Amino acid sequence: MQITDEIIDYVGILAKLELSDEEKEQAKKDMTNMLDYVGKLNELDTDGVEPMSHTFSVHNVFREDVVVNGDDRENMLANAPEKKDGAYKVPRTFD
Amino acid sequence: MEKAYETVIGLEVHVELATKTKIFCGCSTEFGGAPNTHTCPVCTGMPGSLPVLNKEVVNKAIAVGLATNCTITQNCKFDRKNYFYPDNPQNYQISQLYYPICRNGKVEIEVDGKKKWIGIHEIHMEEDAGKLIHDPYTDSSLVDFNRSGVPLIEIVSEPDMRSAEEVIAYLDKLRMTIQYLGASDCKLNEGSMRADVNLSIREVGAEEFGTRTEMKNLNSFKAIARAIENERERQIDILEAGEKVVQETRRWDDNKEYSYAMRSKEDAQDYRYFPDPDLVPIIISDEWLEDIRAKQPEFRDEKKARYQEEYGLPEYDADILTGTKKLADIFEETIALDANPKKVSNWLMVETMRIVKEKEMDADDITFSATNLAKLIKLTDSQAINSTVAKEVFEKIFDEDIDPDKYVEEKGLKTVNDEGALRTTIEQVIADNPQSVEDYRNGKEKAIGFLVGQTMKAMKGKANPGMVNQILKELL
Ligand SMILES: [Zn+2]
């Protein structure tokens, strides 16, 4: 598949990445390689084959509806770059 | 000639499921905790943490699906919806796109006596996001992840509604059904039920749909009705001006009664859904389905019919009583305590609703117990208290759920059936009100009412009205 400049710009926007021109060129090459590699699968006839989402035959893994976690705020917030009043502080965000 | 337009409306309704824990972790879903006190590595999207599905979420989603005539997807999965927003710590929301748990349902609504089916396209399970609070002191946003991972179902209707009245009837139908299931309390004002309105207009008779907009932030039935009217007018104005409606998401401001576009066009809406590799498929067996089907409760329409048939209640009364699950529960519990159904209905329909209205509260938030209402009815049945006192005592029951037996005893509110005491009081009243006595004797029947009133006043409302009447007539 041909990865165009437009695709790279679009993927950059989706991933919130600002890429330099050199990085864009590199990303173009990498993405083309990856898609060509996976593209090999297109050589197979997959008519009538159900799309697969997992490689193992496990299903119905459930949890009972019982509270097991308590208040661990201090630990949780330990990773926050910034915090205030028990909350994660982030740049002002509009709804 | 003026063109005639038809409004076409479809709804996306999010409902918070009433489970004890979140959808993928053992954190509490309890409302109102201090920020981030109900969080763990899973619901804050820490690398390496793994979600495990709460079985009760699946049970409740199936129950809602069965109650809305859906086909249950017996082999369903979760998908990731990718987007960046500070209230979404994983940078994706776990939702269902390809195999939603319920599909092809319908519910029947009634508007102005006309019945109509509204199609349900699908119901899927997903997780709620956290909450952003604006901090004016630092001009930043503070994130609370207590709601992050709270289980939701999203009920997507077909574009089958044509008016605000139909939308409200549909929402009410969903709310009652889900409340009766105990799957959610469905409060629009508290956000446990949220409705996004997709609306387009087209000329009457047109086959094609117009371009639709999606309206968010509708927190009451009134706001929904106003927003629909407003958006309909806005779109008609655009078309009449020869312009085109832009497909966009708009946010309703109920104070200003207008909406504005939320996201700019440059903002890509490309969620790149893919199956969540951390969550294995759910296979719902026939036995599992049957088990839930067998446990479905009596729903509102059935209950309403039964109240009319079994207890002889008028349709209007049955409608009000079943219109709030809480009222229906109190009604049935009080009857189970041997109270007369008509009397129980009367207390709920008249006094209860009066106080609910006065206090501008939701009948769902009533807290008094059936036990105390049943006791009150027994006190009036045995004529231990008269109706005036009973109303006073009921207000106490409504506010504080007091035990009426104790209260009446402590406050000395029992009706005075002691004829001697009554006779003395009445003699005094007659002596004090010669004019009324004169009027009565001259044939003014109404004058006796005043004398009864004076007697009740003198007895502080505790006299047996029948006895007062009888003695008065005798003495006059
Ligand atoms: Zn958690």
Are both B400 and B306 inside the same structural domain?
yes
Tens digit of each residue's pLDDT (9 = 90 or more) over B90-115: 999 999 999 999 999 999 999 999 99
Tens digit of each residue's pLDDT (9 = 90 or more) over A28-59: 999 999 999 999 888 999 898 887 788 888 99
Number of domains in chain B: 3
Give the whole-angstrom CA distance, residue B28 versus residue B38: 6
Q: At residue B266, does pLDDT exceed 60?
A: no
Residue A13 resides in a domain: yes
Nearest CA in chain A to B56: A65
pLDDT, averaged across chain B? 91
Residue A34 resides in a domain: yes
**What pLDDT, on a 0 to 100 scale, did the predictor assign at position B451?**
84
Residue A11 resides in a domain: yes
Mean pLDDT of the region A8-36:
92
Chain B partners of A10 at a C-beta cutoff of 8 Å? 268
Domain boundary among B245, B262, B289: B289
CB-based contacts of B429: which residues, under 8 Å, 6+ apart? B451, B454, B455, B458
Which of B55, B135, B144 minimises the CB distance to A65?
A: B55
- Domain containing residue B445: CATH number: 1.10.10.410
Domain boundary among B289, B316, B350: B289
User: Could you give the C-alpha distances from B273 to B11, B95, B277, B278, in angstroms and in order?
Assistant: 22, 9, 12, 14
Are both B395 and B373 inside the same structural domain?
yes
Q: At residue B49, does pLDDT exceed 80?
A: yes
| CA–centroid distance, residue B45 to ligand 1 (Å) | 9
The two tokens of residue A11 are 């993927």
Minimal CA separation from B323 to chain A, in Å = 29
Are both B369 and B443 inside the same structural domain?
no
Contact state of A84 with B272 under an 8 Å Cβ cutoff = no
In B39-170, at which residue ranges do the beta strands (DSSP E only) sit? Answer: 53-54, 71-72, 75-76, 79-82, 92-95, 102-111, 114-127, 131-135, 140-144, 151-157
Are both B268 and B310 inside the same structural domain?
no
The burial class, CB within 10 Å (0-12 / 13-18 / 19+), for B113 is exposed
Are both B114 and B219 inside the same structural domain?
yes
Give the whole-angstrom CA distance, residue A53 versus residue B80: 12
| CA–centroid distance, residue B31 to ligand 1 (Å) | 14
Residue A51 resides in a domain: no
The yes/no answer to whether this complex scores an ipTM above 0.85 is yes
Mean pLDDT of the region B327-332:
95
| pTM flag (> 0.95) | no
Are both B351 and B457 inside the same structural domain?
no
Q: At residue B268, does pLDDT exceed 80?
A: no
Residue A22 resides in a domain: yes
| CA–centroid distance, residue B280 to ligand 1 (Å) | 19
**What pLDDT, on a 0 to 100 scale, did the predictor assign at position A95?**
57
Are both B378 and B442 inside the same structural domain?
no
Residue A83 resides in a domain: no
Q: Does A68 touch chain B (CB under 8 A)?
A: yes
- Domain containing residue A37: CATH number: 1.10.20
Are both B32 and B146 inside the same structural domain?
yes
Range of the domain at B72: 5-289
Q: At residue B203, does pLDDT exceed 60?
A: yes
**What pLDDT, on a 0 to 100 scale, did the predictor assign at position B475?**
78
Which residues make beta-bridge pairs with B252? Answer: B259
Are both B214 and B355 inside the same structural domain?
no
Are both B13 and B161 inside the same structural domain?
yes
Are both B90 and B206 inside the same structural domain?
yes
Number of domains in chain A: 1
Are both B202 and B100 inside the same structural domain?
yes
CB-based contacts of B38: which residues, under 8 Å, 6+ apart? A69, A71, B22, B27, B28, B29, B30, B146
Range of the domain at A25: 5-41
The two tokens of residue B414 are 């029992």
